């Protein structure tokens, strides 16, 4: 067996026996990511479903002043709740979150309506309350609809066609395929996968330099008749192995977790069969050498385990920045973007999940540039391992 | 056989080694004596090829430490001042790992490992993980690991630091055994008694310079005293004054 193989196997064995390493490498990705993911998706879809199906609870102050409006609201699926408190309490209760919103019918409503002037209706709401967004929007739409109906009746009474009020009619044509709509949520998955991949190699990358040094095992190791390149490449290979396994486990676990998430209730279909999982793994695994090289290079500048952990936690965020950017902007894949590691993996994985085909040229560019950069980083790590400063 | 001539090494503005020369012969125990920071570790690091000298030369068994570093490392056994064992591996796995990196394979590796474990009496220890080792157990496994390839030359860096009496006695016994088998043993220490109890030759180093060397008798004569500790203090003080 070669020196490389000896170093590789020893690192794998040693780290598999370290509970801390195994927990972070495999537990983090396998349990945390899908759990977090399933939780958010379930909550998101449950809320959307609930908001649509349940009757709209509508707390009203002064309902007796607007009987016609109340009848309209009830006919359109609202449940009127006449509340006993005054307008000032309404503000307090909406602000504290007891009520998502409260409709206030002021004293002047009936009088102004009778005179044909705009009749005031106050809707107390809190735009900072994200939970209330859906129901508040429904209440607003109902009130607007009542306004339009009343206006149309008034125009008809004066012999004018109600079309006068709608000079333009905007129709939104939604072209999202069912799977496409779920991509916003699924986009988060590439974030988790790259993250848990990096965490999988986290402790091994630190151990290569700062860890060995702190334990006092680096110096005797370097005085063995092997080259430093053999040592560090063997160690980086072990780091890569842990990262690849961590990535695969995370993908499989997420696929299983997703099968329990009611995406269909939202009109989404998650495209996550075994073939897709393998394809996503193939696309993303190219990032492994880059991540291993980057973490090893950064760790080699640190003087202690603790310092290395601090810096590597920052490094974990670096590859995630392009992904966040892409998710926010809805970026679509182009050949140029494929030259950016992590962004290219995100775009390709997202397209695979979306069920669209991916361009083989894009895959080639992505894999080549990411692997190339990874090899450069590993080469730099090897150079750094030859410095005397590595001894601390 | 270790031959060091005119070694110089600086770290930034600090001249760690300033023209260090000495030899350590086969079949003899040579002690490198000096205060902390005198340049002992730097010298040993250059000999184990972990560091390079700025100028001067160092050879181990005729191999140059700079140009033939791989050959040097092949013939060298190094015991660091901390054991540096891998705590998740068993004693045997620790020893075998070094054996493999020295190129031992198969039955050759197994036999070498068995012999070392037998010789140090650590057969029960070697099957346990290094995590729970006592000081003495750590030292024995580290020794077995350093000697697995039967090196001609053995370097020990402050080996007795922080060890209890039993472990120190065991180590001395082992060092004498190595000497009997014809090895060249070089070890560093800042403890006079330690060196006096064990060494055939002494090299006293202060501020990166060799201030006295020879057999204990020669050093006593050269410094005009019959107390080795006094000799060490005088030699070191002379170097301080000169600086």
Per residue in A167-182, pLDDT (tens digit) is 787 776 656 555 555 5
What is the reported pLDDT for B24? Answer: 95
Q: Is B121 left (phi over 0), alpha (psi -120 to 50) or beta?
A: left
Tell me which chain A residues have a C-beta less than 8 angstroms from the C-beta of B97. Answer: 6, 10
Count interface pairs A-B at CB distance under 8 A: 76
Cα–Cα dist A273/A275, whole Å: 5
What is the reported pLDDT for A274? Answer: 85
Q: Provide the whole-model pTM.
A: 0.79
What are the pLDDT digits (tens) for A272-292? 788 888 999 999 999 999 999
Does residue B20 contact residue B191 with C-beta atoms inside 8 Å?
no
* Domain range list for chain A: 3-45+179-391, 54-165
Tell me which chain B residues have a C-beta less than 8 angstroms from the C-beta of A219. Answer: 45, 48, 50, 78, 80, 84
pLDDT band at residue B175 using 50, 70 and 90 as cut-offs: very high
How high does pLDDT run on average in chain B? 90
Task: Calculate Rg over the CA atoms of chain B.
Answer: 18
Q: Is the pLDDT of residue A354 over 90?
A: no
Shortest distance between the Cα of B80 and any Cα of chain A, in A, equals: 6
* Domain range list for chain B: 2-75+152-242, 83-150
Among B100, B105, B145, B150, pick the best mutation site for testing chain A contact (most A Cβ within 10 A): B100
Q: Is the pLDDT of residue A253 over 70?
A: yes
What average pLDDT does range A73-82 have in this prediction? 86
CB atoms within 10 A of CB A18: 16
Q: Considering CB atoms only, which of B78, B88, B105 is closest to A14?
A: B88
Cα–Cα dist B101/A231, whole Å: 10
Q: Is the pLDDT of residue B67 over 80?
A: yes
CB atoms within 10 A of CB A128: 8
Q: CB B73 to CB A215 under 8 A? A: no
How high does pLDDT run on average in chain A? 84
User: The domain A54-165 belongs to what CATH superfamily?
Assistant: abc type-2 transporter like domain (3.40.1710.10)
Tell me which chain A residues have a C-beta less than 8 angstroms from the C-beta of B45. Answer: 219, 391
Tell me which chain A residues have a C-beta less than 8 angstroms from the C-beta of B103. Answer: 225
Residue A18, SS3 per DSSP? coil
What is the reported pLDDT for A240? Answer: 97
What average pLDDT does range B15-38 have in this prediction? 92
Q: Is the pLDDT of residue A154 over 60?
A: yes
- Written as six digits, the tokens of B107 are 């039955």
Shortest distance between the Cα of B81 and any Cα of chain A, in A, equals: 8
Locate the chain B residue with the closest alpha carbon to A231. Answer: B101
Tell me which chain B residues have a C-beta less than 8 angstroms from the C-beta of A214. Answer: none
- CATH of the domain spanning B2-75+152-242: 3.40.50.300
Q: CB A220 to CB B73 under 8 A? A: no
Q: Is the pLDDT of residue B142 over 60?
A: yes
- Please tell me which residue, A233 or A36, carries the higher pLDDT value: A233
- Please tell me which residue, A257 or B10, carries the higher pLDDT value: B10
Shortest distance between the Cα of B242 and any Cα of chain A, in A, equals: 30
Give the torsion sign (CA, B97, B102, B105, B108): negative
Shortest distance between the Cα of A181 and any Cα of chain B, in A, equals: 48
Shortest distance between the Cα of A296 and any Cα of chain B, in A, equals: 20
What is the reported pLDDT for A11? Answer: 94
Residue A11, SS3 per DSSP? helix
Shortest distance between the Cα of A231 and any Cα of chain B, in A, equals: 10
What is the reported pLDDT for A183? Answer: 56
Locate the chain A residue with the closest alpha carbon to B73. Answer: A225
B212, β-bridge pairs: B204
User: How crowded is the C-beta side of A195, counted as CA atoms within 13 Å?
Assistant: 20
Q: CB B101 to CB A227 under 8 A? A: no
Does residue B138 contact residue B83 with C-beta atoms inside 8 Å?
yes
Q: Which of A26-30, A280-284, B203-207 has the lowest mean pLDDT?
A: A26-30
Q: CB B78 to CB A218 under 8 A? A: no
Cα–Cα dist A147/A39, whole Å: 40
pLDDT band at residue A149 using 50, 70 and 90 as cut-offs: confident
């Amino acid at each position: 067996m070669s020196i490389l193989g000896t170093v590789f196997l020893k690192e794998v064995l040693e780290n598999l026996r370290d509970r801390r390493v195994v927990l972070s490498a495999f537990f983090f990705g396998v349990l945390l990511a899908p759990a977090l993911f399933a939780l958010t998706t379930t909550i998101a879809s449950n809320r959307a479903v609930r908001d649509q199906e349940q009757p709209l609870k509508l707390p009203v102050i002064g309902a007796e002043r607007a009987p016609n409006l109340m009848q309209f609201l009830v006919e359109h699926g609202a449940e009127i709740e006449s509340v006993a408190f005054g307008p000032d309490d309404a503000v307090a209760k909406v602000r504290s979150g007891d009520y998502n919103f409260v409709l206030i019918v002021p004293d002047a409503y009936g009088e102004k309506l009778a005179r044909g002037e705009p009749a005031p209706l106050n809707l107390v709401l809190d735009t900072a309350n994200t939970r209330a967004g859906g129901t508040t929007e429904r209440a607003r739409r109902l009130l607007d609809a009542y306004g339009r109906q009343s206006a149309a009746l008034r125009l008809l009474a004066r012999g004018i066609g109600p079309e006068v009020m709608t000079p333009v009619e905007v129709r939104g044509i939604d072209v999202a395929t069912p799977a496409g709509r779920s991509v916003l949520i699924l986009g988060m998955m590439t974030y988790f996968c790259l993250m848990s991949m990096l965490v999988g190699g986290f402790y091994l990358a630190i151990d290569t330099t700062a860890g060995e040094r702190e334990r006092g095992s680096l110096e005797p190791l370097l005085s063995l008749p092997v080259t430093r390149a053999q040592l560090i490449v063997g160690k980086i290979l072990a780091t890569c192995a842990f990262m690849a396994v961590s990535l695969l486990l995370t993908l499989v676990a997420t696929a299983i977790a997703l099968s329990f998430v009611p995406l269909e209730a939202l009109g989404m279909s998650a495209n996550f069969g075994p073939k897709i999982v393998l394809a996503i793994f193939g696309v993303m695994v190219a990032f492994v050498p880059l991540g291993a090289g980057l973490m090893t290079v950064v760790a080699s500048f640190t003087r202690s385990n603790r310092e290395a952990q601090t810096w590597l936690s920052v490094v974990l965020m670096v590859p995630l920045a392009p992904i966040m950017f892409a998710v926010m902007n809805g970026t679509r894949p182009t050949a140029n973007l494929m030259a950016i590691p992590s962004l290219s993996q995100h775009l390709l994985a997202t397209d695979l999940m979306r069920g669209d085909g991916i361009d083989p040229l894009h895959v080639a560019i992505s894999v080549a540039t990411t692997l190339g950069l990874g090899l450069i980083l590993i080469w730099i790590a090897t150079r750094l391992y030859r410095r005397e400063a590595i001894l601390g | 056989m270790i031959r060091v001539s005119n070694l110089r090494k600086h770290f930034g503005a600090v001249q760690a080694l300033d023209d260090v020369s000495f030899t350590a012969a086969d079949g003899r125990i040579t002690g490198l004596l000096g205060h902390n920071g005198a340049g002992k570790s730097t010298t040993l690091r250059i000999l184990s090829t972990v560091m390079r000298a700025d100028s001067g030369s160092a050879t181990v068994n005729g191999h140059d430490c700079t140009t033939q570093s791989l050959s040097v490392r092949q013939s060298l056994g190094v015991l660091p001042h901390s054991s540096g064992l891998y705590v998740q591996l068993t004693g045997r796995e620790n020893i075998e790992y070094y054996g493999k990196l020295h190129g031992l394979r198969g039955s050759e590796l197994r036999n070498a490992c068995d012999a070392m474990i037998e010789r140090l009496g650590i057969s029960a220890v070697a099957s346990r993980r290094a995590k729970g080792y006592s000081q003495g157990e750590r030292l024995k496994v580290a020794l077995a690991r350093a000697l697995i390839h039967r090196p001609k030359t053995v370097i020990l860096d402050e080996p007795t630091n922080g060890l209890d009496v039993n472990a120190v006695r065991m180590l001395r016994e082992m060092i004498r055994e190595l000497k009997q088998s014809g090895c060249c043993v070089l070890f560093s220490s800042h403890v006079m008694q330690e060196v006096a109890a064990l060494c055939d030759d002494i090299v006293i180093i202060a501020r990166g310079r060799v201030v006295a060397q020879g057999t204990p008798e020669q050093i006593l004569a050269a410094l005009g005293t019959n107390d080795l500790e006094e000799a060490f203090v005088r030699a070191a003080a002379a170097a301080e004054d000169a600086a």
